[in-house]
Amino acid sequence: MPAVRLQVAGRVQGVGFRWFVRVAGRRLRLAGWVKNNADGTVEVSALGAAEQLDEFRRLVERGPEGANVSEVRELEPGGEELPFPFAMRR
């Protein structure tokens, strides 16, 4: 099954971004997690069917109302076992 790991920059902390990503991941039945990074970015790791991951990425690129996503960088997936259902990390 394909996996993605993303680093999201912009106005993505303090606007409900992690909650939005967690809801999207659960709605699409993906395994994975989302967390805030100390540098102000948000990191996302997800595993699922290719179609669901494509839709998930579109949602992450848009973000919730109040967010302003300026960049989504694709990182190398870590190969770790991802939690199901989709979770928020601190």
DSSP 29-55: T-EEEEEE-TTS-EEEEEES-HHHHHH
Count of domains observed in the chain: 1
Q: Position 83: which residue type? A: P
pTM for this predicted structure? 0.95
The verdict on residue 61 lying in a domain is yes
Query: Catalytic site residue 36?
Result: yes
Tens place of pLDDT per residue across the chain (90 aa): 899 999 999 999 999 999 999 999 999 999 999 999 999 999 999 999 999 999 999 999 999 999 999 999 999 998 899 999 999 998
Any idea what DSSP says for residue 32?
E
The verdict on residue 70 lying in a domain is yes
3-state class of 19 per DSSP?
helix
Return the CATH number at 15: 3.30.70.100
The verdict on residue 87 lying in a domain is no
Q: Which of 11, 36, 57, 58 is catalytic?
A: 36
The verdict on residue 88 lying in a domain is no
Task: State the number of CA atoms in the 13 A half-sphere of 27 facing the CB.
Answer: 9
Note down the domain range covering 56: 3-77
The predicted structure's pLDDT at residue 79: 85
